[in-house]
């Protein structure tokens, strides 16, 4: 056990820190959350600057420890969130890097790394959310193309995406985990209709995507035909493993801000609130250490995080909600009910964390069955 980073890792950290200090001050202000074209341009612009500085592919090209340092330092410095590049950099990119052919890597990875193209995720369906293997969107082979028909939902960034990592059923006769394939679908193909869904947090973060006879080249399939479930598990393990590192850093900073705000407005005198914030401090400190432990395991598993990611995701999604509930208490009744107050939007969006990327119930099943070895059942 040790907490010391290797010399080359510390060099990476120092170089990145210096570059961030130099780069961030002249960054333009972030666009309004409702301005989708503006957000796309802003997020891609930031990715381009990372690319030009040599940090473009760090999400899948670097060791898990370097990835951890990158996410920690960018968040500490207040750099822009990965934003519209989320799926491309953290899901589709790592999946194509791990499972794609040389041609596929050459076609899709450079535009993601350069900040030229945006990806969205076409996994969930109205009848297949947490039970992803129940998906029904069909892809029927027609020569060297698949003809895709069906519907996706909760598709983040669909309005501004160039590509969609799409799960389709290629063999309706096979057992449900076996007949699935993973496709890269161009979002400008005829037959695609995107309908934004307004979230309870206000803006439309995601959309419904209707697919009516969309033609996708067979060459766009990543992994073998009908082997999409295994490819998807690779994607999901990335999602549950390293994707939240920056957020934990941000939550720890927010917790410090909450404490200072509480002292400023007098609520700090309430020992119940104080102890609640103290307890959250323990939780976030331990979550950070859990990430560091998981990174060690990820390194041994060739970069793919293991089921420890589910342990992290479950606790983190709960604690994040507790953090913003505590924030509401710090703000007081009129502040907590004022939708324009700081932390209110985060409180609302935190509600998605115990649902998205597998509900907490699904995560508990995964932990019970895959880690603890309890029998499958209801």
**Residues annotated as part of the active site:** 239
Nearer to another protein, 271 or 302 (CB): 271
Ramachandran area for residue 78 (φ above 0: left; ψ -120 to 50: alpha; else beta): left
Nearer to another protein, 4 or 29 (CB): 4
Nearer to another protein, 18 or 257 (CB): 257
| Burial class of residue 53, CB neighbours in 10 A (0-12, 13-18, 19+) | middle
Least Cβ distance, residue 233 to another protein (angstroms): 19
Is 205 within 8 Å of 57 (Cβ atoms)?
A: no
- 3-state SS track over 211-243: EEEEEEEHHHEECCCCEHHHHHHHHHHHHHHCC
Distances (CA, A) of 95 to 63, 237, 304, 350: 15, 10, 10, 26
Residue whose C-alpha is closest to residue 220's, from 136, 122, 331 = 122
Least Cβ distance, residue 159 to another protein (angstroms): 36
**What is the residue-wise DSSP string for 283-307?**
HHHHHHHHHHHHHHHHHHTTT---T
d(CA 227, CA 233): 11
Least Cβ distance, residue 345 to another protein (angstroms): 22
Q: Residues interacting with another protein, by CB under 8 A?
A: 1-6, 9, 65, 252, 255-256, 258-260, 263, 271, 274-279, 281-283, 285-287, 289-290, 292-293, 295-297, 308, 311, 314-315, 361, 363-365, 367-369, 371-378
Least Cβ distance, residue 139 to another protein (angstroms): 33
d(CA 351, CA 322): 10
Nearer to another protein, 141 or 260 (CB): 260
Least Cβ distance, residue 282 to another protein (angstroms): 5
Question: For the chain, what is the largest distance between any 2 Cα atoms, rounded to a whole number of angstroms?
Answer: 72
Nearer to another protein, 221 or 252 (CB): 252
Least Cβ distance, residue 82 to another protein (angstroms): 23
d(CA 82, CA 75): 10
d(CA 77, CA 312): 24
Nearer to another protein, 204 or 362 (CB): 362
Nearer to another protein, 38 or 256 (CB): 256
Least Cβ distance, residue 3 to another protein (angstroms): 5
Residue corresponding to tokens 């985990």: 177
> CA angle, corner 243, sides to 375 and 357, nearest 5?
45
d(CA 300, CA 307): 13
d(CA 95, CA 212): 26
């Amino acid at each position: 056990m040790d907490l010391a980073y290797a010399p080359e890792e510390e060099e990476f950290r120092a170089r990145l820190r210096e570059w961030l200090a130099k780069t961030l001050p002249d960054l333009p202000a972030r666009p309004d959350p409702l301005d989708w074209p503006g957000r796309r341009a802003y997020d891609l612009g930031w990715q381009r600057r990372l690319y030009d500085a040599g940090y473009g592919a760090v999400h899948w090209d670097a060791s898990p420890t370097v990835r951890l340092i990158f996410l920690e330092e960018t968040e500490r410095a207040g750099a822009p969130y990965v934003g519209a590049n989320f799926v491309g950099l953290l899901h589709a990119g790592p999946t194509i890097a791990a499972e794609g052919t040389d041609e596929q890597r050459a076609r899709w990875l450079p535009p993601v790394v350069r900040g030229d193209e945006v990806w969205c995720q076409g996994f969930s369906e109205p009848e297949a959310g947490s039970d992803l293997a129940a998906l029904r969107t069909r892809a029927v082979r027609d020569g060297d193309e698949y003809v895709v028909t069906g519907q996706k939902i909760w598709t983040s960034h669909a309005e501004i995406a160039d590509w969609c990592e799409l799960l389709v059923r290629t063999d309706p006769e096979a057992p449900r985990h076996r007949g699935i394939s993973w496709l890269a679908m161009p979002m400008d193909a005829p037959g695609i209709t995107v309908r934004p869904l307004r979230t309870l947090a206000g803006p439309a973060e995601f959309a419904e995507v209707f697919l009516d006879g969309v033609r996708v080249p067979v060459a766009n399939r990543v992994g073998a035909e009908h082997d999409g479930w295994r490819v998807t598990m690779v994607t999901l393990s990335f999602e549950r493993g390293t994707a939240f590192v920056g957020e934990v850093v941000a939550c720890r900073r927010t917790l410090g801000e909450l404490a200072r705000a509480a002292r400023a407005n007098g609520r700090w005198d309430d020992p119940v609130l104080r102890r609640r914030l103290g307890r959250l401090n323990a939780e976030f400190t331990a979550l950070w250490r859990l990430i560091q432990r998981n990174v060690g395991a990820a390194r041994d598993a060739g970069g793919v995080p293991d089921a420890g990611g589910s342990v992290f995701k479950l606790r983190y999604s709960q604690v994040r909600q507790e953090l913003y509930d505590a924030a509401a208490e710090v703000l007081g009744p009129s502040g907590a009910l004022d939708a324009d107050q700081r932390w209110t939007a985060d409180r609302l969006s935190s509600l998605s964390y115990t649902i998205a990327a597998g509900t907490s119930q699904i995560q508990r099943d995964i932990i019970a069955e895959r880690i603890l070895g309890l029998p499958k059942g209801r």
